[in-house]
Amino acid sequence: MYKAKAYAVASATSPFTSTSISRRDPTDHDVQIEILFCGICHSDLHQARNEWSGMMPTVYPCVPGHEIVGRVTKVGSAVKKFKPGDLAAVGCLVDSDGTCPECKAGFEQFCPNMTLTYNFPDKNSGGVTYGGYSDSIVVTEHFVLKVPTNLDLAGTAPLLCAGITTYSPMRHWGVTKGKKVGVVGLGGLGHMGVKFAHAFGAHTVVFTTSPAKKDDALRLGADEVVISKNADEMAKHAGSFDFILDAVAADHDINAYIQMLRRDGNITMVGAPEKPLPVSVFGLIFARRSFSGSLIGGIAETQEMLDFCGKHNITSDVEVIPIQKLNEAYERLAKSDVKYRFSIDMASLKSE
């Protein structure tokens, strides 16, 4: 074991403070990574404040962070894909059983025995996993990803969650050139959805409640912007979409967007509203539409996504902060006061 610097919360109401945590020494199949940037996901805030206590209670002290980009510093003797000095990334998963049908199919995110990057039982230490708000991490080679060298690292970090969360359902539902795709909500997830839909060649339409976001949506790659509060604008697009990505985590009328789908169209939720959304079944039945959800992606698909981003020069729009501004960033995140993700420069941790 060795000591690593980190920022942690001690309770649901505590601020983040500097601390040290124990990391395992690399074994034969492990990769040790110096963390250069770590994105801040909204789920980090939920976990830090124990807002998912019913489903996933937080174990304190908690070190969040599952959007990790860094440089390899050490590898185990059996590691084949990485060497010291390589750029590397780690997302939401750091382990799975590798033997279940989900793992064998490349869907490690659905493995019943997966290990999340933080606040999850750690099979190695017997404690809990600690995430990327730290200067280093040790991860099994299979769960470490290669980073295209042409990408900005600060903007690459959020791809490990926001990127794969929006890329995966678009790939699954066949978003390509000639398709009409809608993105509901222009936030941390939604802005990545727009970038991917545009890069896939789809006619991309952003649905937003805020007219002030129109120019930014067009800048990000949208072909059209629909103000969802405007009934006339909504009516013009009824029954015309092949696929809609819904990235809204607040309560909203999902049926209004189901009506936007053409026959056999699909709407996929990647936002996670706290309360169930009432769904009118007739809206699905009469055009054989479907309503589904999606959770991040498997390791192979996440690597595919990173390679796609390298080819198309896609990164997240980020505001880079030192780790000393973490508490301020959380306050702003709770108010949706960021365009569109925070990325922590971990060089700032060296001064602690």
- Which residues, in sequence order, are CB contacts of 212 under 8 Å at separation 6+? none
Mean residue pLDDT across the chain: 96
Q: Dihedrals φ, ψ of 349, to 5°?
A: -75, -20
Q: Dihedrals φ, ψ of 297, to 5°?
A: -170, 165
The answer on pLDDT for 24 being more than 90 is: yes
Looking at 63-161, list the stretches that DSSP marks H as alpha helix, in order from N- to C-terminal side. 101-104, 153-156
The answer on pLDDT for 215 being more than 90 is: yes
Enumerate the CATH 3.90.180.10 domain ranges in the chain, comma separated.
2-161+297-351
pLDDT at residue 124, as a whole number: 85
The 10s digit of each residue's pLDDT in 58-83 is 999 999 999 999 999 999 999 999 99
The answer on pLDDT for 234 being more than 90 is: yes
Tell me what percent of the residues of the chain surpass a pLDDT of 90: 94
The answer on pLDDT for 126 being more than 90 is: no
Q: In terms of CATH, what superfamily is 2-161+297-351?
A: Medium-chain alcohol dehydrogenases, catalytic domain (3.90.180.10)
Q: Report pTM.
A: 0.96
Look at 125 and 32; give whichever has higher pLDDT: 32
Q: Is 177 helix (H, G, I), strand (E, B) or coil?
A: coil
> In angstroms, rounded to a whole number, what is the distance separating the alpha carbons of residues 132 and 217?
30
> In angstroms, rounded to a whole number, what is the distance separating the alpha carbons of residues 293 and 291?
7
pLDDT at residue 94, as a whole number: 98
User: Is the separation of the CB atoms in 114 and 103 below 8 Å?
Assistant: no
CATH 3.40.50.720 applies to domain 163-293? yes
Q: Is 34 helix (H, G, I), strand (E, B) or coil?
A: strand
- Kindly provide the residue ranges of all beta strands, DSSP E only, lying in the chain, ordered along the sequence: 2-8, 17-23, 30-40, 68-75, 87-90, 93-95, 115-116, 136-140, 145-146, 180-184, 203-208, 224-227, 241-246, 261-269, 290-293, 318-322, 341-345
The answer on pLDDT for 125 being more than 90 is: no
Sign of CA dihedral 276, 339, 171, 283: positive
Among candidate residues 332, 335, 338, the one with its CA nearest the CA of residue 319: 338
User: Strands 30-40, 318-322: parallel, antiparallel or unpaired by DSSP?
Assistant: unpaired
The 10s digit of each residue's pLDDT in 267-323 is 999 998 888 999 999 999 999 999 999 999 999 999 999 999 999 999 999 999 999
Can you tell me the mean pLDDT for 7-12?
97
| Residue type at position 122 | D
Q: How far, CA to CA in Å, does 223 sit from each of 171, 198, 201, 218?
A: 20, 8, 11, 6
Can you tell me the mean pLDDT for 146-174?
98
The answer on pLDDT for 206 being more than 90 is: yes
- Which residues, in sequence order, are CB contacts of 100 under 8 Å at separation 6+? 111, 112, 113
